[in-house]
Amino acid sequence: MNEPARRPTALLVMEEERRADVYPPEVLAEVERLVHLQGPPLTREQLDEEPDVLRQVEVLLTGWGAPVLDAALLSHAPRLRAVLVAAGSVRHLTTPAFWARGIPIVSAAPANAVPVAEFTLAQVLLGLKQVHRITREVTSSRRFPHNPRVPGAYRSRVGLLGLGHIGRLVASHLSRFDVEVLATDPLASPDTARRTGVRLVGIEELFATSHVVSLHAPLLPETRGTIGARLLNSLGPGATLINTARGALIDETAAAEVLRARPDLTAVLDVTHPEPPAHDSPLFTLPNVVLTPHLGGALGAERHRLGELVLDELRRFIHDQPLQYAIDPEHAASLA
């Protein structure tokens, strides 16, 4: 695309720690070609000290450590026309005052979904082979089992709780394997399920019949603590639970009791609540819990994808083209 006739004024505000990963030099150079940057990048705290820097800003570029878009901030940004967020969730940033302004906000959740779905796929395949369970048994017995019985990736069943960006991408990856994919998502239509290649079922069937269950639901008041003793106890022998979504989806006290009583089960927890768990949490000592420190999300160079998505959306914005990843205000409350 050609350069715009007039370059809008933009400001980059996000934490310093991940800024260079999200907006690498080649992305920043292209941003500067397309817009007039209002000064150097700021952190949220620096913006709080100097909010009048927003007076001429038309495009707010941000990412992790983004400012909350409340009435106070918006009062300093009368010319703001778009917010482009190189991160996943925007629910904690948006307020009624923001939505009332009718300003489009873009989320890079589809880009962040890529590494999460890749991590999930790896854990699903390991779970279908029951790698973690068998490794525990080999270590304990110092013997190799003879002809272990595992579901494998042939006519086995994988359950997905949630069909957002990540859930749909996981389902797409799994379509290459000889597995049946079930999903539970009250907002997913039959047409979405058909296009995604999954069969919609209730949460009870999802847990009771899947060899691996992977959580991809948003954390909402109605989903907090959803995964408790009843659902976990309904899992079949040797089943694996994977959580790359939000730790508070699981009632961790109940989960620890079930996992202690069911050594055949495995829980792969890439997220917890709190994160990390309390120092004395049984999650650190239960042998059938695999704890990883939020490895599923974009790390290092993987974060470049988020900045590139924002750059692509910036091009569309300045050329008056429809934004591909703008959040629909009507569905914002149900997003992660």
Please say if 294 is a catalytic residue. Answer: yes
Catalytic residue among 294, 302, 315, 316: 294
Please say if 3 is a catalytic residue. Answer: no
Distance of CA 8 to CAs 11, 49, 103, 112, 320, Å? 10, 24, 15, 27, 12
Catalytic residue among 18, 132, 211, 246: 246
Please say if 275 is a catalytic residue. Answer: yes
Euclidean distance between CA atoms 306 and 205, whole angstroms: 36
Catalytic residue among 17, 32, 222, 275: 275
Euclidean distance between CA atoms 174 and 180, whole angstroms: 9
Cβ neighbours of residue 162 closer than 8 Å, sequence gap 6 or more? 183, 184, 185, 215, 216, 217, 218, 245
Strands 105-107 and 199-200 turn out to be: unpaired
The structure tokens listed for 322 are 């429809």
Euclidean distance between CA atoms 253 and 272, whole angstroms: 12
- Other C-beta atoms within 10 Å of 236: how many? 14
Torsion of Cα atoms, 184 then 189 then 193 then 194, to 10°: 150
3-state secondary structure of 120: helix
Active site residues: 246, 275, 294
